[in-house]
Structure 1
Amino acid sequence: MAAFETTRLTVDGLSFGGRLSETIANMFGTIAAWNDARMTRNALAKLSDRELDDIGLTRSDIDAIH
């Protein structure tokens, strides 16, 4: 006789709590990456054109940083 466990919701080996934790971790990772890019763009925007040229960038390159 076979018995099935029906009280645990799993998808790809993760329970609902595991999936929720993973989703929250991904959300915080996305926010952290966005904030890092924002801080980098702000720091680069404060540089002079000559300083940007020294590192091989132009003002238009700053907007392309994601």
Structure 2
Amino acid sequence: MAAFDTTRPAYGAAPVAGQFNGLFSKLVAQVAAWNHARVTRNALNALTDRELEDIGLVRGDIDDVANSH
């Protein structure tokens, strides 16, 4: 009697799935980083010039702060 093991994925199928998962996770990370920068930028723009000065910033620094990691 012959037995076949059919529980293994086809040759080359796993790397394709891994590449898709890697691409998807990179996309999610980029969207999350963009949203974090957007929220930071909006919060800093809501501050007055005096409040920005208290934390050592000027309006021109907001984009640099929001885009830094």
The share of aligned pairs that are identical, in percent, is: 44
Deviation at 1:26, TM superposition (A): 0.6
Q: Note the alpha carbon deviations across 1:15-53, whole angstroms, 9 max, x for none.
A: 100110011011000000000000000000000001001
Normalised by the length of structure 2, the TM-score is 0.74
Residue in 1 aligned with 2:24? 24
Count residues with an aligned counterpart: 57
State the alpha-carbon separation in 2 of the partners of residues 29 and 50 from structure 1. Answer: 34
Shift of 1:54: 0.9
> For residue 24 of structure 2, what is the amino acid of its counterpart?
I
Structure number having the greater helix percentage = 2
Name whichever structure is richer in strand by fraction: 1
Gap runs ≥5 in structure 1? 1-6
TM-score, length of structure 1 as denominator length:
0.77
**In 1, Cα distance between equivalents of 2:36 and 2:15:** 31
Q: How large is the RMSD of aligned CA atoms in angstroms?
A: 1.6
Ranges of 4+ aligned residues in structure 1 off by more than 2 Å: 7-10
Q: Which runs of 5+ in 2 are unaligned?
A: 1-9
